[in-house]
Amino acid sequence: QVQLQESGGGSVQAGGSLRLSCAASVTRYTFSTFSMGWFRQAPGKEREGVAAIDNHGSPTYADSVKGRFTISKDNAETTLYLQMNSLKAEDTAMYYCAATGTVVVWPLEGRDYHYWGQGTQVTVSS
């Protein structure tokens, strides 16, 4: 059973930074085959894809976070990261990481991901 555990959320003022982590309970080899993503959901809103990275390390970003967020994947540590800079109030949401060992057609849509974490809250005050 694959388990994903997010951490690093918190409260920050607008313009600040946070780094989210997602630790996976799999072997390094299995982790290296994963495509993974970060998703978020604010109260009353639909879940949206924020950033994704495939098993070759190629990233995809939502337009709303391009230039501010960076996704990275450390296969040796079996951990996914999301560095978030220049945070805005509209970034406030519960952030989830997701993973799959299969082909991802639409990286920022959740339908292709099989494993999900429990989420970590990010609150940005203006």
> Tens digits of per-residue pLDDT, 108-123?
999 999 999 999 999 9
**Cβ atoms < 10 Å from Cβ of 64:** 13
Q: Exposed, middle or buried, 68 (CB in 10 Å: 0-12/13-18/19+)?
A: middle
CA torsion sign for 84, 68, 108, 25 is: negative
What pLDDT was estimated at residue 51?
A: 98
pLDDT tens-digit readout, 5-21: 999 999 999 999 999 99
Confidence at 35, pLDDT banded by 50, 70, 90? very high
Confidence at 32, pLDDT banded by 50, 70, 90? very high
pLDDT tens-digit readout, 60-104: 999 999 999 999 999 999 999 999 999 999 999 999 999 999 989
